[in-house]
Amino acid sequence: MESGMVYNIQRMSTKDGPGLRTTVFLKGCPLHCLWCSNPESQSFHPQLLFFENLCQSCGACERVCPYGAVVKRGSAYNWERALCQGCGACAEVCSAKARVMSGKRMSVQEVMSVVDRDSLFYANSDGGVTFGGGEPTAAGDFLVELLQHCASKGYHVCVDTCGMCAPEQFRKVLALTDLFLFDCKHMDTEEHRRLTGFGNGVILENLRQVFESGKKVRIRVPLMPHLNDSEENILAMAVFLHRYGKTEVDVLPCHAFGSSKYDALRLPRPSLSAYSAEELKRVLERFTRADLKVTIV
């Protein structure tokens, strides 16, 4: 039985597909989008996050750290990241949740034991199970086995994906998925590479697979000021989508909700700012001119 890295399981979710759902967030993503609001989801390994503002300076972390990575300076207990081995001992004793571990290796059986708890809610609300990330397809056959178990129980399955996956592996996922939430970030492959670390060739190939399969899909556009909101990019997106009879997109406007996570990981914050109401209105008009119907999510 496969196992994989999970960083959160959210029960009773209403934002990741129809009805009441359990969303399983798999850790690890091949892309590194400049605007990522969940930086803890990118690494394929467990990570420590230290939220300094929550620290109560009790000293429990210093007493249990076997690597000397917690150092007291004045009344504050600082994190020496270079010494930290990610063992999680400090997080286990931190009652204030100032130190938390992101990522836990779980078996298919362990994940399904959580998923199965709400099976009645799925049935009564036309809900189901969503796999997100990170990038869920990067979990390989761990995801495939989870999908197989969900299918055997008759659960509606949604996969929230950026599409960056070997096409032959993606076909395995495609066969077992009822609905895709598929990101469309930029239509120019070199711009896509600059913004995410990879070109979009494989991504568009996998999106074509979804379209040609007849499976349900919602196109999601993370909308970033001056990065992918140009008239040219939106028009190119519309041309591609219209080719397959698609006229609707879900737009996710830029926000700064993940900023504290960058601080907690000791990573530089993205230098982006949210749209004003007027700016967003002007950008959304570009979708209208391109004959795309927009839903803001």
Q: Is pLDDT of 112 > 80? A: yes
pLDDT at residue 76 is higher than 90: no
Q: How confident is the model at residue 74 (pLDDT cuts 50, 70, 90)?
A: confident
- In the predicted model, what is the mean pLDDT of residues 82-100? 95
State yes or no: pLDDT of 201 exceeds 80: yes
Q: What is the pLDDT of residue 109?
A: 98
Whole-number pLDDT of residue 83: 94
Checking if the pLDDT of 249 tops 80, the result is yes
Q: Amino acid identity of 13? A: S
What's the rounded Cα separation, in Å, for the pair 47 and 64? 17
**Residue 190: what pLDDT?**
99
pLDDT, residue 257, reads: 85
- The mean pLDDT of 243-247, rounded to a whole number, is 97
Band (pLDDT 50/70/90 cuts) for residue 75 is confident
State pLDDT tens for residues 12-62: 999 999 999 999 999 999 999 999 999 999 999 999 999 999 999 999 999
Which tokens in the block code for residue 73?
């300076």
Contact present, 31 and 12 (Cβ < 8 Å): no
pLDDT digits (tens, 9 = 90+) for 154-196: 999 999 999 999 999 999 999 999 999 999 999 999 999 999 9
**CA dihedral (175, 180, 183, 187) positive or negative:** positive
pLDDT at 256 over 90: no
Task: Using the predicted structure, report yes or no on whether residue 254 has a pLDDT greater than 90.
Answer: yes
pLDDT tens profile 271-292: 888 999 999 999 999 999 999 9
Measured distance CA(53)–CA(98) in Å, rounded = 7
pLDDT at position 161: 99
pLDDT band at 234 (very low <50, low <70, confident <90, very high): very high
Please give the domain boundaries of the chain with CATH numbers for all domains.
Answer: 3-45+103-296 (3.20.20.70), 47-102 (3.30.70.20)
Q: What is the mean pLDDT of the chain?
A: 97
